[in-house]
């Protein structure tokens, strides 16, 4: 029986496992489950679709955690500005940004490699059922071929979390998006990444990011609400984005070398976040669950940035667990108030990016943009 069983070895789950096992004053027996074989060569079918940009907030979390990033994880080129393209208002601006451009899979594998051997790892195992059994969780993997038991369960299984859906059931959670990324060959160096706003495509945003001799074109399309897209519409929307972007940037986006997809969740209200739960209070079972990173709904609702939240929630849960298993989920829940505030403030800022008219005013004003570059910076598209 594990004291703590973590489902998901993305940045959130791996970092929690590393912290727990690295602290010799904690005597917890820790297990970690992931459907990916992070100890074997990369399986493209299990790779997470991602932009791989390490934001200033994520860099701050790495500093807090005393973590470095080996240069082998970085991707060419390193980019210092974003080209914001507003197809709705026919405007564009450049803004300075301090991101690191990374290979996402290598980043995950690096964090995973830091986990001490004391953590028992169950890789290539898909969690398929969860049962509450007396005073412990029973986790079934690969249709019950493996069963693990645990006192304290951690959901770090990302967007559309299976653990969250199974244990908490239906509730008004974060808004769901499907992201599609296609990779195209490129022989030139693009000195920016682009954020593309176009209400014809999505009410969120689209992007281009260069990774070596490839250029990613990606978008996040709504799966819920009045603008929800059907599977057929997804491809049509992506094609429209591809044509418009190729035409606007003057590049060829014809021969894709890779297509990938992933869910993205967007918490447009802090009520959609779930950090912890305690089950069976009435029966005295007191089974605890904590949710980390994207499984908690913790990503930036304006940019979909998620590494900083994955690392922050894992640090907060680790700190809560250092005082014992008893009520750790309540301490964790309280410590996540700062994340609630952060997401609340990001949602207040959201109309400046996502309301067509307010964005027009902001972009026209030039506030925060690289004005000296912007003799071209406020270009009327099509003129
Ligand atoms: C297209 C796209 C682009 C993005 N770009 C960026 C970016 O540039 N910068 C940024 O900061 N954030 C970005 N994000 C968000 C970022 O990827 C997430 O916020 C981050 O990965 C969350 O980390 P996590 O550990 O919570 O979950 P994840 O990284 O999603 O990890 C979840 C883990 O759980 C495992 N798992 C899932 N289900 C099961 C199961 N049933 N059984 C066993 N294992 C399971 C998965 O294999 C995975 O390893 C992007 C997201 C998307 C979709």
What pLDDT was estimated at residue 223?
96
Residue-wise pLDDT for 144-160, tens only, equals: 889 999 999 999 999 99
CA–CA distance, 123 with 105 (Å, rounded to integer): 15
The pLDDT of residue 379: 43
Q: For the whole model, what pTM was predicted?
A: 0.95
Q: Which residue's alpha carbon is at the smallest distance from atom 4 of ligand 1? A: 50
Residues 6+ apart with CB under 8 A from 103: 52, 73, 74, 75, 211
- Predicted confidence at residue 382, as pLDDT, reads 40
Query: Considering only CA atoms, which residue is closest to atom 39 of ligand 1?
Result: 157
Domains along the sequence of the chain with CATH: 2-365 (3.50.50.60)
Ligand 1 pocket list (CB less than 6 A): 7-13, 33-36, 48-53, 55, 58, 126-127, 156-158, 162, 179, 181, 218, 262, 264, 292-295, 299, 304-307, 310
Share of the chain above pLDDT 90, in %: 85
Instruction: Identify the residue whose C-alpha is closest to ligand 1 atom 44.
Output: 34
Helices (H), the chain: 11-22, 56-64, 104-113, 162-168, 231-249, 307-321, 328-335, 337-354, 356-365
**H-run or E-run covering 81:** strand 81-86
96/102 Cα distance (integer angstroms):
18
Residues belonging to the chain: 383
User: Which protein residue's CA is at the shortest distance from atom 19 of ligand 1?
Assistant: 306
What's the CA-to-centroid distance between 294 and ligand 1, angstroms? 7
pLDDT at 295 over 90: yes
pLDDT band at 285 (very low <50, low <70, confident <90, very high): low
d(CA 311, CA 164): 19
Q: How far is the CA of 306 from the centre of ligand 1 (A)?
A: 8
Nearest CA to ligand 1 atom 50: 50
Distance 296 CA to ligand 1 centre (A): 12
Summarised one tens digit per residue, pLDDT across range 146-196 is 999 999 999 999 999 999 999 998 888 899 999 999 999 999 888 899 999
Q: How confident is the model at residue 381 (pLDDT cuts 50, 70, 90)?
A: very low
pLDDT digit string, tens, across residues 233-265: 999 999 999 999 999 999 999 999 999 999 999
Residue entry with tokens 């094609």: 239
The tokens for 353 are 């990016």
DSSP H or E stretch at residue 149: strand 146-155
Q: Calculate what percentage of the chain has a pLDDT beyond 70.
A: 95
């Amino acid at each position: 029986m594990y004291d703590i069983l973590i489902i998901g070895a993305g940045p959130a789950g791996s970092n929690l496992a590393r912290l727990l096992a690295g602290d010799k004053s904690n005597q917890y027996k820790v297990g970690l489950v992931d459907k990916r074989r992070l100890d074997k060569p990369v399986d493209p079918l299990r790779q997470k679709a991602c932009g791989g940009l390490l934001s200033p907030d994520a860099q701050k979390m790495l500093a807090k955690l005393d973590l470095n990033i080996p240069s082998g994880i970085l991707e060419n080129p390193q980019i210092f500005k974003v080209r914001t393209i507003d197809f709705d208002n026919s405007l564009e601006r450049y803004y300075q940004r301090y991101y690191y451009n990374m290979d996402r899979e290598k980043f995950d594998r690096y964090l995973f490699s830091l986990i001490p051997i004391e953590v028992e790892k169950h890789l290539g195992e898909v969690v398929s059922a969860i049962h509450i059994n007396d005073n412990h969780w029973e986790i079934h993997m690969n249709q019950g071929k493996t069963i693990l038991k645990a006192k304290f369960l951690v959901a770090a299984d990302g967007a559309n979390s299976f653990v969250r859906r199974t244990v908490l059931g239906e509730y008004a959670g974060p808004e769901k998006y499907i992201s599609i990324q296609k990779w195209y060959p490129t022989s030139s160096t693009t000195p920016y990444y682009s954020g593309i706003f176009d209400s014809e495509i999505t009410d969120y945003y689209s992007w281009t990011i260069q990774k070596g001799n490839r250029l990613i074109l990606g978008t996040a399309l709504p799966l819920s609400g009045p603008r929800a897209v059907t599977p057929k519409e997804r491809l049509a929307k992506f094609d429209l984005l591809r044509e418009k972007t190729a035409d606007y940037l003057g590049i060829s986006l014809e021969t894709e070398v890779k297509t990938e997809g992933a869910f993205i969740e967007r918490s447009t209200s802090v009520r959609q976040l779930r950090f912890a739960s305690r089950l069976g209070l009435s029966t005295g079972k007191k089974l605890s669950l904590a949710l980390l990173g994207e499984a908690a709904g913790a990503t930036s609702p304006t940019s979909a940035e998620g590494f900083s939240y994955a690392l922050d929630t894992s640090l907060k849960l680790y700190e809560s667990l250092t005082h014992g298993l008893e009520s750790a989920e309540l301490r964790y829940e309280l410590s996540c108030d700062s994340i609630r505030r952060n997401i609340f403030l990001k949602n207040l800022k959201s109309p400046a990016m996502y309301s067509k008219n307010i964005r027009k005013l902001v972009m026209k004003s030039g506030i925060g943009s690289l004005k000296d570059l912007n003799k071209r910076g406020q270009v009327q598209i099509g003129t």
